[in-house]
């Protein structure tokens, strides 16, 4: 079917108490893996495209691949601009049929973030496109900061309420303790659930969890087997993620797990079959590894049979 409004996908998830995966793409193999996995589990899915992915493959290529595949399948597929920073990219995404855009001005002072986000809402809503925005920061565990300093990176629930009210955004990404990449925690996964509860209570919109990759044992085992160096990597464990979904997270962003799966797939062929030079034989297994990741995530998010 045609692409479906991301807001519609998330409002249903919010009402029924599950989350939908937003998976980042960097090439055609990733698009196919994501959509095939979602179709096999009859799950809705959101395809995320970052500004750097747009620089890599072009916005028309990214949007064209997702729209073409979505039209051929019976599940709901949303197309989302991830971490939009430039007004120009937001406008391009709206023009190219994205069903939602994220404006990420979370590094700006509150009032400036509100001003920029309001402008994006005006542009996007006039084209029927929904808007995500973020408050707080997602640090990396490698940032050498104290627990108190890390606290200061997290969303302030009062500010969140004001921000959602003043901007009119459709879904909101609060920083509650995750970070992007493969090195999220030094020890066990930990999120600020009380902060999440307050944000949900005060904003009443679908919430988004960035930096949600699992970097789980299976991926790390495969990485080790095929010589991908990831020592010390640690992601968000499924139990903690499930609890976050119970408390109001409806969109769960994953990129790192797919990047690891893709690399493991490529390495597995190149290391084991030195005579292979057909790109399809190299990319095929990478696609299978990524498909497994998407299926595992969909099971954890509870969106099976919600397609």
50 binds ligand G3H, rule: CB under 6 A:
yes
Residues whose CB falls within 8 Å of the CB of residue 109, separated by 6 or more in sequence, listed in order: none
x/- site string to ligand 13P, residues 223 to 262, per CB under 6 A? ------------------------------xxxx------
In whole angstroms, the minimum distance from the beta carbon of 50 to ligand G3H comes to 3
82 in active site: yes
The contact pattern for ligand 13P, residues 23-52, with x = CB under 6 A and - = no contact, is -x----------------------------
Burial class (CB in 10 A: 0-12, 13-18, 19+), 71: exposed
Task: Work out how close the CB of 82 gets to Zn ion at its nearest, in angstroms, rounded to a whole number.
Answer: 6
Segment interacting with ligand G3H (CB under 6 A) among 45-53, 89-97, 139-147, 191-199: 45-53
Task: Choose from ligand G3H, Zn ion, ligand 13P, none: what does 254 bind? Cβ within 5-8 Å by kind.
Answer: ligand 13P
Count of alpha carbons within 13 angstroms of residue 99, beta-carbon side? 21
Least distance in Å: CB of 51 to ligand G3H? 6
Q: Which of 211, 248, 265, 285 binds ligand 13P (CB under 6 A)?
A: 211
Contact positions with ligand G3H (CB under 6 A) in 166-185:
180
The residues carrying an active-site annotation are 82
Q: Which residues would be at the binding site for ligand 13P (CB under 6 A)?
A: 24, 82-83, 180-181, 210-213, 253-256
């Amino acid at each position: 079917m045609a692409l479906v409004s991301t807001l519609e996908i998330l409002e249903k998830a919010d009402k029924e108490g599950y989350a939908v995966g937003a998976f980042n793409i960097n090439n055609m193999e990733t698009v196919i893996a994501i959509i095939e996995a979602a179709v096999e589990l009859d799950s809705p899915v959101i395809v995320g495209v970052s500004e750097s992915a747009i620089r890599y493959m072009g916005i028309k290529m990214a949007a064209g691949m997702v729209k073409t595949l979505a039209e051929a399948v019976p599940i709901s597929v949303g197309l989302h601009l991830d971490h939009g920073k430039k007004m120009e990219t937001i406008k391009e995404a709206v023009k190219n049929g994205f069903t939602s855009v994220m404006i990420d001005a979370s590094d700006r002072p509150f009032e400036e973030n509100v001003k920029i986000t309001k402008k994006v809402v005006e542009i996007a809503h006039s084209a029927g496109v929904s808007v995500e925005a973020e408050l707080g920061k997602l640090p990396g565990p490698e940032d050498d900061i104290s627990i108190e300093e890390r606290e200061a990176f997290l969303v302030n629930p009062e500010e969140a309420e004001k921000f959602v009210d003043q901007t009119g955004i459709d879904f909101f990404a609060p920083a509650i303790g995750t970070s992007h990449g493969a090195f999220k925690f030094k020890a066990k996964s930990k999120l600020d659930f009380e902060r999440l509860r307050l944000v949900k209570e005060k904003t009443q919109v679908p919430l988004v969890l960035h930096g949600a990759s699992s970097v789980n044992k299976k991926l790390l085992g495969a990485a080790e087997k095929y010589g991908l160096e990831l020592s010390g990597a640690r992601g968000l464990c499924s139990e903690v993620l499930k609890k976050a979904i119970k408390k109001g997270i409806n969109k769960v962003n994953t990129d790192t797990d797919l990047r690891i799966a893709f690399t493991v797939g490529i390495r597995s062929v190149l290391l084991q079959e030195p005579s292979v030079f057909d790109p399809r034989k190299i990319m095929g297994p990478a696609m299978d590894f990524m498909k497994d990741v998407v299926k595992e995530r969909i099971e954890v998010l509870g969106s099976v049979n919600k397609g």
